[in-house]
Structure 1
């Protein structure tokens, strides 16, 4: 609150033009004067973020399970996926737009590519770091690989999995927005680019605030689900 008060005072006192730095009151005003545009663009960005995030979770889980059951796949794919993460996402987004157009699909794919790897790494790490004594116990009981996975490995890896989910949740909205920046017709990223070109920095700040809020909500939902799942696991 102190920072906001100083910000407001400085803008008014030194008569800073709005196109250089809008006052907090100007940014708040945008939420009332341009709320219809903000809502319409936000709906698309949220849809892209949620759908991409959910698909990233599904793909990461399936890939993690496959890598746990088939060792050769883990040895071949894991280094390859590690290398792909070294490619800046800002260079991938234009390619997705060229290949798949300006619709929702390339934005969803961008979210998947951004969120997939942290989830996979955390999940695989959890599966590989199960206590050896537990694994030996299951072996002495002649448990199959599937039974060991269902009753031991997966439950023991859930906490690590949620760590990856939390990290990815912070990236989902940002990834969708970056993809919209580089090619799109609707979404908060498009709204920000248009506002920037019009030197309407109050709208840029307003859309940025929404992106932060949506990201916090994503992380909060993951945290709530984590607490419920871990609580039920310990019952």
Structure 2
């Protein structure tokens, strides 16, 4: 099956259902951003440290990669940055355009896949913001390589992604408070569901996810020409049993160095 198309449709449906990561930010948040009081998240709960961003955001070329939903993009645009939001979901991008029109922001949207940035020239962006979303692609290496290509030398990639430990447990039982190891990493929705569960999952329109190894996530960035310059972890805010034992989301700040070292 075409998993990209399936996930595109799944996120369109999430917008219609009003899911958390599809709700656009308020005018109040945008106004605070214009006054210098702003923050964004690329994981679940924690805000990205402000010192991961340049002090002067005005005119900075930023790509919000697989980041539709009217959240990160509009806030960054409110700082004076030149923001482009790219996502596979048309309805997610509509949320960004809604905020931009409502609050008079300089923001562009492009519908496309995170692993194919051929629309953009080499060395074009100063900063890429990539919230937890590569969980929806089978291979993360093209994402890192394309991000490195379109970033300027010393450009910054801020990424959020899932700790693969989350996927070793039976998802249904974990949500019931039972931690039962059933899956190996790497994995995908199709691999850890029974045939009956898989058919129900597809028919219900739920997104297909991939559990990538930490080597693919972190060494993958390094192989693409980045140096990891920042790191923190996040969780579900205490809403899942795993929060009692380990944090299941990771954020990294990576700087493009290419052949500089």
TM-score (norm 2): 0.24
Q: Give the strand-richer structure, 1 or 2.
A: 2
Q: Which has the higher contact order (CA 8 A, sep 6+)?
A: 1
TM-score (norm 1): 0.26
